[in-house]
Amino acid sequence: MQRGTFQLMKSVNKSIILNKIRTSEPISRAEIAKETKITPPTVSSIVKELIGQGLVKESTRGHSSGGRKPTMLHINTGAFYVIGIDAGPETVECVLTDLAGGILQRTSSLLKKPLTNEMFIDVLKENIDAILGRADVDQEKIIGIGIAMHGVVDAETGMSRIAPILNLTNIPIKDVLEQEFNLTVRVENDARAMALGESWFGGRDDAGSMAAVNIGRGVGAGIVINGKLYHGAEGIAGELGHMIIDINGEKCECGNRGCLQTIVSGKAIAERGKKRLKESPDSLTAKDLFEMAENGCQTCIELFRETGVIIGIGLTNFIHLVNPGKIVLGGGVMKGGRFILPAIRETIQQKALTAEARQTEVTITKLGDEATLYGAVSLLLAELFDPVLK
């Protein structure tokens, strides 16, 4: 779908009605009018337009306590499609989904370093081309491309300002890809995209204030406040991994010492494990350590428990600053959640300022390895269905 067409599909009332149908289907026109406070004639007019565009479909009539049974409305999930990309820092994962997040096609590529900006964008293009080549759908029904990018992102311009693990700066992702594919492109920090994906697909619609924390190669957080993604004044809100925990600690890729991610990232856990285990191979990974913990290695179990304590300290600071209603944890490190999560919760219980803060819900994402990909898809869906979430 060309960029201009996508813009014409959107209006505030239309998005409100679409989102009401999405979250409450099946629902009647009368119920929509009552719950949204939009007048019945306006609801009927917009619903007619949405049916004409293929976004909404009618079903058999609903229940009635008297009089004519109402016709019920549903989202037509196969009406349009979205390309979602989880970009870096190790791989590029790309999917094509329907409006419900059902994955229809998938591609992936390893990122071989060192990279230039042009090489990185070429990998994105190759994956999008592969998806378009394989997709058995009308490409005019693809509403856009959502990209979840690690590091500091200017969401307004779609520019990757700093991708520290890739050692890249100022990558004009949106401009280049929109020119190449003539599709709407949205670019967001991966942790913020993950937060939006949790709000969208993770059963978190009731969470007006929540955060998602991605702990893997680095550590990042996305914050949703009153249903809106929070970016901060200069777009770096949520850089939890660069919270300094130990001013005399290991040097971070950002140049500072003792950042949280120098202690709890997958690489940092592996380095800490090598120091504790005798005759450990240089190739030892956090995954190896987790498997050893699963097999009863007490040194590894204690290593993950200590990691949970350190993450818990970081999250306690985060709770004191932001006070989210829920925190959802994802990323490769949280595959060790069996050992890490109890220590996180215990630490928050011990250190949070108030009884209410100590009760902050902390869970592991139900979306698993797909959490960031679903976040990328949600960048377009949120704009179509509910523009207040942009």
More confident residue, 60 or 376: 376
More confident residue, 149 or 63: 149
Q: Which pLDDT belongs to residue 204?
A: 46
Are residues 190 and 150 in contact, defined by beta-carbon separation less than 8 angstroms?
yes
- pLDDT beyond 60 at 119: yes
Dig out the tokens for 138 from the structure.
């009308």
Q: Which residues are bridge partners to 145 per DSSP?
A: 83, 185
Q: Which pLDDT belongs to residue 61?
A: 67
To the nearest 10°, the Cα dihedral for 32, 33, 38, 40? 130
- Domains of the chain with CATH codes: 3-75 (1.10.10.10), 81-197+372-389 (3.30.420.40), 205-365 (3.30.420.40)
Chain centre to alpha carbon of residue 67: 45
More confident residue, 328 or 23: 328
The residue type of 179 is Q
Range with the poorest average pLDDT among 126-130, 180-184, 217-221 = 217-221
- pLDDT beyond 60 at 65: no
Q: Which pLDDT belongs to residue 385?
A: 79
- pLDDT beyond 70 at 4: no
Task: Tell me the pLDDT tens digit for each residue of 241-291.
Answer: 999 999 999 999 888 999 999 999 999 999 999 999 977 788 899 999 999
* Percent of the chain predicted with pLDDT > 90: 66
Q: Which pLDDT belongs to residue 254?
A: 84
CA distance 312 to 82: 36
Helix (H) or strand (E) run with residue 220 in it: strand 219-225
Which residues 6+ apart lie within 8 Å of 320 measured at CB? 352, 353, 357
- pLDDT beyond 70 at 386: no
- pLDDT beyond 80 at 2: no
* Cβ neighbours, 10 Å, residue 1: 18
Q: Which pLDDT belongs to residue 64?
A: 54
Are residues 70 and 64 in contact, defined by beta-carbon separation less than 8 angstroms?
yes
- pLDDT beyond 70 at 147: yes
- Place 136 in a pLDDT band, splitting at 50, 70 and 90: confident
- pLDDT beyond 90 at 235: no
User: Average per-residue pLDDT in the chain?
Assistant: 89
CA distance 37 to 24: 15
Strands 209-215 vs 326-330: parallel, antiparallel or unpaired = parallel
Instruction: Calculate mean pLDDT across residues 35-47.
Output: 93
Instruction: Calculate mean pLDDT across residues 165-189.
Output: 95
- pLDDT beyond 60 at 207: no
Instruction: Calculate mean pLDDT across residues 160-176.
Output: 93
Q: Which pLDDT belongs to residue 389?
A: 43
Dig out the tokens for 106 from the structure.
């998938």
